[in-house]
């Protein structure tokens, strides 16, 4: 089993920045993908950004140029730097990890962009 713990959510004004972090613990494998999804009220969960252990990344079109995903300095961590935040970025953000044939999710952290 893998446990994911997120941190860094909160309230920010439009145009501001936030940094989310996620740490994985438990039985982890070197071949994996980590990333972030989000779910706004009344909407389905959607991909924000993912990064493979190779460093290959994929972003949602809506966040390209504003968000940057990276592997953290500590092993089995992933960060999401969010700049130029917009009200439509408001959602619960979930950390994600895939390894072998399994997918794991964090408990979610709220990001609210409002003036």
How confident is the model over 52-111, as pLDDT tens digits? Answer: 999 999 999 999 999 999 998 777 999 999 999 999 999 999 999 999 889 999 999 999
Read off the pLDDT of residues 9-64 as tens digits, 9 standing for 90 and up. 999 999 999 999 999 999 888 889 999 999 999 999 999 999 999 999 999 999 99
**Plot region of 26 (φ>0 → left; ψ -120 to 50 → alpha; else → beta):** left
At 43 the three-state DSSP class reads coil
Contact 1, 99 (CB under 8 A): no
Contact 113, 90 (CB under 8 A): yes
Euclidean distance between CA atoms 103 and 98, whole angstroms: 4
């Amino acid at each position: 089993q893998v446990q994911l713990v997120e941190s860094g959510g909160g309230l920010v004004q439009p145009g501001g920045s936030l940094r989310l972090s996620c740490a994985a613990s438990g039985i982890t494998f070197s071949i994996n993908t980590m990333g972030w999804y989000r779910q706004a009220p009344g909407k389905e969960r959607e991909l924000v950004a993912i990064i493979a252990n190779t460093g290959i990344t994929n972003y949602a079109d809506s966040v390209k140029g504003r968000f940057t995903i990276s592997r953290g300095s500590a092993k089995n961590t992933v960060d999401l730097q969010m700049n130029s935040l917009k009200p439509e970025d408001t959602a619960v953000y979930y950390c994600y990890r895939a390894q072998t044939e399994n997918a794991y999710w964090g408990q979610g952290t709220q990001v609210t962009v409002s003036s």
